[in-house]
Amino acid sequence: MAMVLLATDSDEVAEETFAALVSSEITVSRVQRGEDVRGIALELNPDLVILDLQIGNMGGVATSLDLRHEISAGRLKPMKIMMLLDRDADLWIASEAQVDAKLVKPLNALQLRKKAEALL
């Protein structure tokens, strides 16, 4: 079973993500603060981390770079990272954040599921 960790402080984004991904083959856990992602990732060993660009106190870019640093240092196992963006203009930011996939909101359940499955 694949494990997905979602980091968003938006209940709407969380509900849409859970509805699109939760199945007999995929479990999804959520954190609401970017600073909590590293610790939970260490605990859960997710296959995929989905980061909302605008997470309170530590945004998606900083969180992604933190995960990549921890992975390169050998403190976290390799994992895929997807970023949920607010607008097309944020695509460059996502590439700088070293993410494996990006999706511009509003979320489309089918697109989200296909991107997630391709990474898993």
* Residue whose structure tokens are 């909101």: 105
94 pLDDT band, cuts 50/70/90, is confident
CB of 57 closer than 8 Å to CB of 37: no
**CA dist., res. 37 & res. 91, Å (int):** 22
111 pLDDT band, cuts 50/70/90, is very high
Q: In 1-120, where does DSSP find H-type helix?
A: 11-21, 37-44, 60-72, 91-96, 109-119
Q: What domains are defined for the chain? A: 2-119 (3.40.50.2300)
**pLDDT tens sequence across 27-68:** 999 999 999 999 999 999 999 999 999 997 899 999 999 999
pTM, two decimals, is 0.96
The rounded mean pLDDT for the chain is: 96
* Residue whose structure tokens are 């895929």: 80
**Mean pLDDT (whole number) for 72-98:** 94
